[in-house]
Structures are given as C-alpha cells and as structure tokens.
Amino acid sequence: MTARILDGKVLSLTIQSEIATAAEQLKREHNIVPGLAVILVGDDPASQVYVRNKAKACERVGFHSKTFALPSETAQKYIMDLIKELNKDNAIHGILVQLPLPHHIDENAIINAINTDKDVDGFHPINVGRMVIGKEDCFLPCTPFGIQTLMMRNGIETGGRHVVIVGRSNIVGKPTAIILMQKAVGADATVTVCHSRTKNLPEIVRQGDIVIAAIGRANFVTADMVSPGAVVIDVGINRVKDFSTKTGYALVGDVDFENVKEVASAITPVPGGIGPMTIAMLLFNTLKAARKTLK
Ligand code: GUN
C-alpha cells in the first residue's frame, strides 16, 4: 500500500485564507494592518527564495511587509540599530531575521535584540523559555508549529505515540521535541531525538510511530529505517544535482521519498509539505503579534 500524501501546500493556503479573513476583521474593527519586517543579510540563494515567499504570502493575506536585503559585509551594529528602529515602529508587529547569518555576526546578540512581543520566529530566549514551560503565552517557532498543525489538521494522533526526531537544531529538532512532549492536545507524545552522533540510529528510527526528519542530508532516512505504517514528516530541503531538470539541480528532502512512501502510512512531500506550513505559521504569529497591541 502506498502512503497517504500529506499536502502542506493546500493546507497552508486554507490557513492563509483563514488568516486573511481575520486580518480583514482587525482592519475593519481596529484599523490595524499586521506588518512584518524581514531582514536578510547576504546572498544565499535558498534564503533569498524563502524571504521572497514570506513577503509574497504577506501580500496574499493583506499584511504589509518590508524586506531589508543587506549585503553580506553589513556590520553587526547596523543590524542592531535597524532592529532597535523596528522595535519602536508601530506599523511593524513582527520582526524576522533570516538565518543563517554571515559568520562575522553574532546570531545570539541579534536575536536577543528583538522585542519579545515582535519575535514571530519564537527564537528569543524569553519565548524559548516560555515554550519549554508550556503554559505561558509565547510565539512557537514556525517550522515545529507547522509540523504540529499539519498533523493535527490531518487527524494524526500524537498522544502516547513514539515520535522519533532525526536532527537537533535550535530551529527544528529541539523545539519540535519540546512542543510534542507537552501535556497538551496535539502533543502528549513520547519523544526521542537522534542526531549525527547517535549510535544505532536506524534501529531507533524503526521504533518511531512518527518519524520527523530534520538533519539536512538528502535521502538520509531510507525505507529500511521506517516501520511499516509509520507517519513520516520530511523537513529537509536539500539542493542536489539533477541534470534532467532545466536548472541542473532538484530540491529533495531528508527522506528517500520514493521508497519510504511504500512503507509509511502517511508522508509529507518535498517540496509542498512542511515548507509551506512554516509560512502559514509565520503569518499566524504575525497576526497574533498585531492582536497583542490591542491589549
Ligand atoms: N532559516 C531556516 N528556517 C528559518 C526560520 O524559520 N526562520 C528564520 N528566521 N530563519 C530560518
């Protein structure tokens, strides 16, 4: 049996139309238009695509957005000053600094400078702390939040099930583990995190009722690592050479999709899986940030 394909693109558009309706109401009743500032430093092609997609999505749901595309040699002080300005700007409700940043810039210092009420990525230590505590109001990081939402909206139960996460990054692996182990609806999972130093990794991944691949290596999760009937969520976006395409490369996930889909019960594609969900949750967080100004 072939796995059910979990379509993140269609679900993202559904959520975006819900957000557009909510944004219209916010405009009508309070004359507030949610605003997102995106800071991109350098010319990494993947980051440029992500940032463009974020700006386009803002337009689609009736938000306004400002992109600051800065050269890779931009001084840290310049970015800090820009963030200070945006922190004060009443038309901007969300601030996102696209990662990774060039090596001469201290990523933590930049994230720490963002007003916690505008931290729509949920990367500021205050929001990370609130997320860990679980009960407190915070911004959940967009990709883990997108993974949880995709599973919930597709009726995939996580309660009491074993989720095996492959990858321990601050952006995906770690926060996904925290979110899915919470005592909450859409969570309550038993979570194991594997990474590049894990011994017997295939054996552990085979124990997963749900496998979340976020290690950044093309086709890392193979069919023999997946137990029959497992749900497989692929967070990877890897650029590999493919001479059959016009551009000479193709985007593939961390999962060997063609073979794993014959074993799994449900699977996310790349592209069109978690990527679009990340954008939907960014818009959700920006709307939430705009509503916070009402209180
Ligand atoms: N780089 C990769 N994913 C993300 C994300 O969700 N937010 C930001 N700011 N940078 C990223």
What averages of pLDDT result for each successive group of 10 residues across the chain (295 residues)? 96 98 98 98 94 97 98 98 98 98 98 98 98 95 98 98 98 98 98 98 98 98 98 96 93 97 98 98 98 91
In the chain, domain spans: 31-119, 142-275
182 catalytic per annotation: no
Does residue 119 line the site of ligand 1, with CB under 6 A?
A: no
CA 171 to centroid of ligand 1, rounded, Å = 7
98 catalytic per annotation: yes
pLDDT of residue 132: 98
Superfamily of domain 142-275: NAD(P)-binding Rossmann-like Domain (3.40.50.720)
Residue located nearest, by CA, to atom 9 of ligand 1:
98
CATH number for the domain running over 31-119: 3.40.50.10860
| Catalytic residue chosen out of the listed positions 16, 98, 118, 256 | 98
The answer to whether 31-119 and 142-275 have equal CATH topology is yes
CA 144 to centroid of ligand 1, rounded, Å = 11
Does residue 127 line the site of ligand 1, with CB under 6 A?
A: no
Spatial contact of 189 and 209, defined as CB atoms under 8 Å apart: no
Tokens encoding 20: 């557009």
Handedness of CA 290, 91, 95, 130 (dihedral sign): negative
What is the chain's percent helix, strand, coil content, to nearest 5?
40, 15, 40
Amino acid at 199: K
Residues 6+ apart with CB under 8 A from 114: 83, 87, 95, 97, 123, 124
Q: Which residues pair with 37 in a beta bridge?
A: 66, 95
State the Cα–Cα distance between residues 38 and 55, nearest whole angstrom: 8
State the Cα–Cα distance between residues 181 and 255, nearest whole angstrom: 23
pLDDT of residue 1: 77
Spatial contact of 260 and 221, defined as CB atoms under 8 Å apart: yes
Please give the number of the atom of ligand 1 that sits closest to the Cα of 100. 1
pLDDT of residue 35: 98
pLDDT of residue 212: 99
* CA distance readout (Å), 158 to 29, 117, 230, 275: 38, 29, 12, 21
Radius of gyration of the chain (CA): 19
